[in-house]
Structure 1
Amino acid sequence: MVTMVNPALVCLLVLLLFGQSCSAVSHPKPSCRYPPSQWCRSLEIAIQCKVLKQCMELRAVSLPQNAAPVSLSVFYQSLCPAWRSFLSQQLFPTWAMLQDILSVHLVPYSATKELPSEAFVPCQREEPECSVNMIQACVVELTGVSGLEIISCMESAADVLSAARPCLRLLAPALPWASLQSCVNGSRGPLLVNRSSAAARALSPAPAHLPWVTFDGEFSEEHQDRAMSSLFTLVCELYQGIKPPACTGIRVHLDRGYC
């Protein structure tokens, strides 16, 4: 028994997965302004591009899972001006637009450049930066993904330390302030900061400055330089799956209501 394969479906699959045309295979040529990589992104686009049937068949043959998100880790000190600038100008705006394809891991820690790599000085709570590092480490531990929003809120304030409580109340109302205090004042907070410091010391190459950015656990000078000036574009380039509209510049028409 021979199973007939729809040539248009084959071509559409090639276009979606590899971004290549199929000149030898007949395929739908919809008069729409979306590139082939976006044809099956939504019901509206499929209908507009007249490929609804092909997209339904494509889903029936089980497309492979999309690529994993770009994994970005940032090693930083909470009161470092360069970190605060990077967070407000690059990291948070990029994450807000590309959070479906970007996984951010924040690593606040206390650097000890003057000491040998094997030496370790515990974070002292009475030091302002140590206190903020510990609070932010606990924020990440207790809130997960929303931790970036809370930390961005803190870092945008004139007094980062005093902003912790109102930012937590605003962006994570379900998390009691007492829970964060328990983490910071107990054994968990110092442990988290110590782990972050150990992770930083284990990096190769070791951080030469802060913030220090790695992608998928690897550091490169090129990625570091580009992350500091054009992180959004870099994340779009590094993502191996179908690019979201924010990366391609495609306009997505949504139903809008007015009051």
Structure 2
Amino acid sequence: MELNATRPSRAVPPVSVTLYYEILCPGCRGFISQQLFPTWTMLQDIMTVTLVPYGNAKACIIHLTGHSAFQIIYCMESAANVLNAAQPCLQLYAPSVSWARVSSCVTGDLGNQLMHANAVMTRALSPAHTHVPWVTFYGGVKPPACNGAPVRLNRSSC
């Protein structure tokens, strides 16, 4: 099926979604793999996602991989074992980033700095978070799908 919708105006800033989460939390894993990533996949033209993990390896992967980070995190979070999936997911989505660089980040000062920055961002939440996953939204204009507008599907694409 194809979605028959108009593209949003590029003059409108995208909706900014920030997710504060713990890397091994089952609820966070489910939210990322079953809700946030599929939504981002459909709405990435009008949506930006910032991930603020509590977990050193995740912070390093996000820092080192840039635009591929969300796909890597999704790959890891949807795997049976998050930590065992890290290296294969990194190689799949960011083959130019070596596992040695991630490991060096995790065990070095950079990893500690990244985790500290994430802790500062989390502590600055207002209102303060009471659980994870914790999601914040800023900016943008609601697309028709969020306003209850009917969406017409083109079913002739088989």
> If the TM-score is normalised by the length of the shorter chain, which range does it land in?
0.7 to 0.9
CA distance in 2, matches of 1:197, 1:248: 41
- Structure 2: gaps (5+ residues): none
Tell me if 1:94 matches 2:75: no
Q: How many corresponding residue pairs? A: 151
* Separation of aligned partners in 2, 1:143 and 1:77: 19
Match of 2:30 among 85, 98, 104: 85
1:201 lines up with 2:123 in the alignment: yes
Asked whether the 8 Å contact 1:134–1:184 carries over to 2, the reply is: yes
Change (3 A) 1:175 1:242: same
Greater relative CO (CA pairs within 8 A, separation 6+): 2
Aligned residue for 1:160? 82
Moved over 2 A (4+): 241-244, 247-253
Aligned equivalents of 1:183, 1:248: Cα separation in 2: 47
Question: Does the 8 Å contact 2:71/2:93 carry over to 1?
Answer: yes
Shift of 1:171: 1.2
Question: Identity across aligned pairs (percent)?
Answer: 48
User: Is there any run of 5+ residues in structure 1 with no aligned partner, and where?
Assistant: 1-33, 42-63, 110-132, 217-237
- Greater strand share, 1 or 2? 2
Match of 1:71, SS state, is: strand
Select 1:104's aligned residue among 44, 49, 64. Answer: 49
Partner of 2:128, secondary structure, is: coil
Q: How does 1:130-169 map to 2 (within 5 A)?
A: 133-169=55-91
> Quick one: structure 1 residues 100 and 215, their matched pair in 2 at CA, closer, same or farther if it must change by over 3 Å?
same
Larger radius of gyration: 1
Q: CA deviation at 1:136?
A: 0.8
Contact in 2 for aligned 1:67/1:241 (Cα 8 Å): no
Q: For residue 107 of structure 1, report the CA deviation from its aligned partner.
A: 0.3
> Within the alignment, does 1:240 sit opposite 2:141 as a pair?
yes
Residue 185, structure 1, aligned to residue 107, structure 2: yes
Shift of 1:66: 2.3
Give 1:72 deviation, angstroms. Answer: 0.4
Structure 2 counterpart of 1:249 = 151
2-side partners of 1:242 and 1:207: how far apart?
27
Equivalents in 2 of 1:203, 1:239: separation in Å?
20
1:178 maps to amino acid: A
SS at match of 2:83: coil
CA–CA separation in structure 1 for the residues paired with 2:60 and 2:150: 36
Deviation string 1:127-174 (CA, Å, 9 cap, x unpaired) is xxxxxx111111111112321110111111222111110110111112
- Rounded Cα–Cα distance in structure 2 between residues aligned with 1:242 and 1:107: 25
| Residues in 2 aligned to 1:141 and 1:150: alpha-carbon distance in whole angstroms | 12
Amino acid at match of 2:116: N
User: Counterparts of 2:128 and 2:143 in 1: how far apart (Å)?
Assistant: 34
RMSD: 2.7
Question: TM-score when scaled to structure 1?
Answer: 0.52
For 1:93 and 1:242, the matched residues in 2 are separated by: 16
